[in-house]
C-alpha cells in the first residue's frame, strides 16, 4: 500500500509541476496539455485526493521500511505546496481580470464583483460544476442548413425577451472534432441567467469537410440568428459571437470578415447584414500562417494540421489563402469590439499569438480591444466553473453588455438640433477655429465625430474631457490626423460638444468610429454643405 500511495503521490506531484511549468519538448510536450490542464483546473480536488491517500495509508499501517514513510511525507508536502499555489493562482485571476478590464487603455469598463454573479455561486465554483440554470429552456437541434451537422441549440430563460441580446458560441476542437453541448457552459449559463439568449451550433468538420466548410457553417449559423432568433426572444441587431480555440478563430473571422463572399453560404443574400457587436475569443487561433514570431515553436505543428487535415492544401504556393483565413490579417478600422482571453501556460496556442493580435488590432481598428492574459493558465481552462472562469465570465459580460447597449432612434427634436445651422460647427486649423465649410476648403471632405455625451446622455465635463483624451490617443495610435472641433447650439437645446475632424474616412469607417464611441450621429462635411449622418446606418438625418 505504501508503494501505491508513493506512486500516486509522485504522479500528482508531476502533474502539479506540469501545470506550473509545462514541457515543450518530446513526451513532456505531448503530456503538457492533458496532464497540465487537469492539474491546473482540479487543484482543489488533487488536495483532497492526496489527503485521502495519506489517511488511507495511516489506516492501513504506516510503513516501517527505512525512508519510505519520509518519502511519502515529502511527496505529500510537495503535492500540497503545488496545488495550494495553483488554487491561489486561480483566485488571483480575479484581480488580473479586473485590472485588464477596468484599466484598459481606452474605454475602460466597470466589472461586476464575485458576489454579483447570478448563476456562478460559491458552491458551483467550489465543485467546478455547472448544471443548467433552473427553468432554462433548451430548443434542441434546430436546423440552420441541409447537412446533418447544421443543427443548433437555443438556450433561454422563459422571461428573456423580447429583444434580449444574443451570444452565438462556436465550439473548438481543431476544426476536426467537438460538439455544441461540450464547451463554454459556465460562461453561457451566466449569460443566460443574466437574460441573454445563447445559441450553440455544430458545424461541419475536417477532414471529411475541409475548409471553408466550418467557416461557411459559422456564417450560416449567424444568418439563422439574424433571421430567426426573434422567434425565441432574441434581438437580431444585438449579437455577440464567441468561441474557444478553433471556435475562437471562427468567431474572430465571423466578426472581422463574415461578409466575405467566399464564405457566404448559398441562400444567404447579400442584403442580409452579418455585422456583430463584439467578439469574445478565448485562447483563439488568431494567426494561421504559423509565423514563429508569434507561435514560438508551435507554428510548424499548426501548419501541418492545416495542410493535412483542415485546409488540405500546402502552405507553399497558397500563402495568400492562409493569410486570408488568419484573423490577424483581416483587422480593419470597422472591426467590432474584441475581448481576447489567453493563458500564459497554453501549450496549444502560444500566448504571444494573442499579444500580436491585440497589438495589431489596437493599431488598426476604431473599436476597443480588451486583452486578458492569465498567468499559469492552460488551454481550455473555462471548461470548469473555477474562480478563474467566473472572473473571465464577468469580463465577457462587461464587454458584451457594453457592446449591445440599446440605442433608441434619434429623437426628431435632437436630430433637428444637430443641423448646421442652428448648430455652429467649427474646426481648429493651426490654432484658429474656422467655420465648417471654410475648413473643407483646406482639408477637403471630412467627418466630425465626438466622444462627448455617449448615447446622447449629458455627461459630466470631467468625464467628457477624459473621453476626448482617450479618443485623441486612439486616433493618433491609428496614424490619423485629427483636428479639434467644437459644436454649439445657440438655442440651448443641447450642450456644446467637442470632437475631431478626420479626412479620408469612408462611410463604413465613419459609422464604425461613431458607434465605437457610443454616438447617435456624426457630421459629414463637403464643400457643398454639412450633413448629419445616423451612426447606426449612415443615413442622413
Distance (Å, whole) CA 135 – CA 122: 20
* C-alpha to C-alpha distances, 463 to 453, 457, 466, 468, nearest whole angstrom: 9, 12, 5, 9
SS3 state at 343: strand
Q: How far is CA 487 from the centre of its chain?
A: 35
How many CB atoms lie under 10 A from the CB of residue 86? 22
Give the cell for residue 320: 495568400
Distance in Å from the first CA to the final CA of the chain? 81
DSSP code for 411: P
Location of C-alpha cell 499548426: 302
Burial class from Cβ neighbours inside 10 Å (0-12, 13-18, 19+) for residue 397 reads buried
pLDDT at position 27, please?
A: 65
Phi then psi for 373, rounded to 5 degrees?
Answer: -110, 115
Location of C-alpha cell 464611441: 517
Reading phi first (left if > 0) and then psi (alpha if -120 to 50, else beta), residue 454 is in: beta
Phi then psi for 413, rounded to 5 degrees?
Answer: -65, -40
DSSP code for 381: G
pLDDT at position 134, please?
A: 77
pLDDT at position 127, please?
A: 66
pLDDT at position 123, please?
A: 65
Report whether 524 contacts 510 (CB < 8 A): yes
Q: Is the dihedral of CA 441, 442, 445, 449 positive or negative?
A: negative
Distance (Å, whole) CA 131 – CA 126: 13
Buried b (16+ CB within 10 A) or exposed e, 111-125: bbebeebebbeeebb
- Name the H helices within 283-420: 292-295, 299-305, 319-324, 351-362, 387-403, 412-418
Distance (Å, whole) CA 268 – CA 220: 7
- For 75-125, the three-class secondary structure string (H helix, E strand, C coil) is HHHHHHHHHHHHHHHHHHHHHHHHHHHHCCCCCCCCCCCHHHCCCCCHHHH
As a whole number of angstroms, the longest Cα–Cα distance in the chain is 97
Give the cell for residue 512: 464604425
Distance (Å, whole) CA 440 – CA 438: 5
Q: Is the dihedral of CA 132, 137, 140, 144 positive or negative?
A: negative
pLDDT tens track, the chain, 541 positions: 888 888 999 999 999 999 999 987 766 777 889 998 999 999 999 999 999 999 998 888 888 777 888 898 999 999 999 999 999 999 999 999 999 999 998 789 999 998 888 876 666 676 676 777 778 999 999 999 999 999 999 999 998 778 999 999 999 999 999 999 989 999 999 999 999 999 999 999 999 999 999 999 999 999 999 999 999 999 999 999 999 999 999 999 999 999 899 898 887 877 788 999 999 999 999 999 999 999 999 999 999 999 999 999 999 999 999 999 999 999 999 999 999 999 999 999 999 999 999 999 999 999 999 999 999 999 999 999 999 999 999 999 999 999 998 766 777 777 787 889 889 999 999 999 999 999 999 999 999 999 999 887 889 999 999 999 999 999 999 999 999 999 998 877 678 899 999 999 989 899 999 989 988 899 999 989 999 998 888 889 8
Strand partners, 335: none
SS3 state at 432: strand
DSSP code for 225: H
pLDDT at position 122, please?
A: 65
Report whether 141 contacts 177 (CB < 8 A): no
Distance (Å, whole) CA 142 – CA 198: 13
SS3 state at 354: helix
Report whether 176 contacts 310 (CB < 8 A): yes
Torsion of CA 62, 68, 73, 76, to 10 degrees: -100
Supply the residues annotated as catalytic: 245, 346, 379
Amino acid at each position: 500500500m505504501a508503494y501505491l500511495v508513493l506512486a500516486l503521490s509522485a504522479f500528482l506531484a508531476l502533474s502539479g509541476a506540469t501545470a506550473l511549468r509545462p514541457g515543450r519538448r518530446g513526451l513532456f510536450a505531448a503530456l503538457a496539455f492533458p496532464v497540465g490542464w487537469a492539474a491546473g483546473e482540479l487543484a482543489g480536488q488533487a488536495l483532497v485526493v492526496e489527503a485521502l491517500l495519506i489517511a488511507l495509508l495511516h489506516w492501513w499501517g504506516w510503513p516501517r521500511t527505512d525512508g519510505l514513510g519520509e518519502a511519502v511525507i515529502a511527496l505529500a508536502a510537495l503535492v500540497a505546496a503545488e496545488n495550494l499555489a495553483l488554487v491561489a493562482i486561480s483566485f488571483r485571476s480575479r484581480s488580473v481580470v479586473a485590472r485588464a478590464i477596468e484599466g484598459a487603455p481606452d474605454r475602460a469598463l466597470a466589472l461586476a464583483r464575485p458576489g454579483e454573479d447570478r448563476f456562478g455561486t460559491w458552491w458551483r465554483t467550489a465543485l467546478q460544476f455547472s448544471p443548467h440554470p433552473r427553468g432554462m429552456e433548451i430548443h434542441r437541434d434546430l436546423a440552420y442548413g441541409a447537412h446533418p451537422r447544421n443543427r443548433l441549440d437555443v438556450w433561454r430563460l422563459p422571461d428573456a425577451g423580447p429583444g434580449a441580446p444574443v451570444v452565438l458560441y462556436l465550439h473548438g476542437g481543431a476544426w476536426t472534432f467537438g460538439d455544441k453541448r461540450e464547451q463554454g457552459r459556465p460562461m453561457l449559463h451566466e449569460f443566460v441567467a443574466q437574460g441573454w439568449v445563447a445559441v450553440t451550433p455544430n458545424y461541419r468538420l475536417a477532414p471529411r469537410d475541409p475548409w471553408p466548410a466550418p467557416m461557411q457553417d459559422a456564417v450560416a449559423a449567424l444568418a439563422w440568428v439574424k433571421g430567426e432568433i426573434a422567434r425565441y426572444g432574441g434581438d437580431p441587431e444585438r449579437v455577440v459571437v464567441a468561441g474557444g480555440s478553433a471556435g475562437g478563430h471562427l468567431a474572430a473571422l465571423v466578426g472581422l470578415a463574415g461578409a466575405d463572399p467566399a464564405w457566404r453560404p448559398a441562400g444567404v443574400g447579400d442584403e442580409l447584414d452579418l455585422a456583430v457587436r463584439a467578439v469574445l475569443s478565448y485562447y483563439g487561433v488568431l494567426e494561421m500562417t504559423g509565423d514563429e514570431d508569434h507561435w514560438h515553436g508551435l507554428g510548424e505543428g499548426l501548419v501541418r494540421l492545416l495542410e493535412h487535415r483542415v485546409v488540405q492544401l500546402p502552405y507553399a504556393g497558397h500563402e495568400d489563402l492562409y493569410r486570408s483565413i488568419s484573423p490577424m490579417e483581416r483587422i480593419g478600422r470597422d472591426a467590432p469590439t474584441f475581448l481576447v482571453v489567453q493563458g500564459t501556460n497554453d501549450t496549444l496556442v502560444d500566448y504571444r499569438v494573442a499579444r500580436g493580435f491585440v497589438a495589431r488590432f489596437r493599431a488598426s481598428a476604431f473599436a476597443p480591444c480588451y486583452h486578458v492574459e492569465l498567468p499559469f493558465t492552460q488551454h481550455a481552462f473555462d471548461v470548469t466553473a473555477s474562480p478563474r472562469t467566473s472572473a473571465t465570465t464577468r469580463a465577457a459580460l462587461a464587454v458584451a453588455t457594453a457592446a449591445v447597449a440599446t440605442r433608441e432612434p434619434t429623437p426628431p427634436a435632437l436630430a433637428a438640433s444637430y443641423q448646421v445651422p442652428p448648430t455652429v460647427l467649427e474646426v481648429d486649423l493651426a490654432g484658429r477655429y474656422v467655420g465648417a465649410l471654410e475648413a473643407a476648403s483646406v482639408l477637403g471632405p471630412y467627418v466630425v465625430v465626438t466622444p462627448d455625451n455617449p448615447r446622447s446622455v449629458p455627461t459630466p465635463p470631467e468625464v467628457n474631457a477624459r473621453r476626448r483624451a482617450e479618443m485623441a490617443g486612439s486616433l493618433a495610435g491609428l496614424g490619423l490626423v485629427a483636428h479639434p472641433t467644437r459644436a454649439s447650439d445657440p438655442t440651448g437645446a443641447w450642450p456644446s460638444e467637442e470632437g475631431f475632424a478626420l479626412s479620408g474616412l469612408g462611410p463604413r469607417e465613419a459609422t464604425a468610429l461613431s458607434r465605437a464611441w457610443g454616438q447617435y450621429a456624426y457630421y459629414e462635411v463637403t464643400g457643398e454643405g454639412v450633413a448629419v449622418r445616423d451612426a447606426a446606418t449612415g443615413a442622413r438625418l
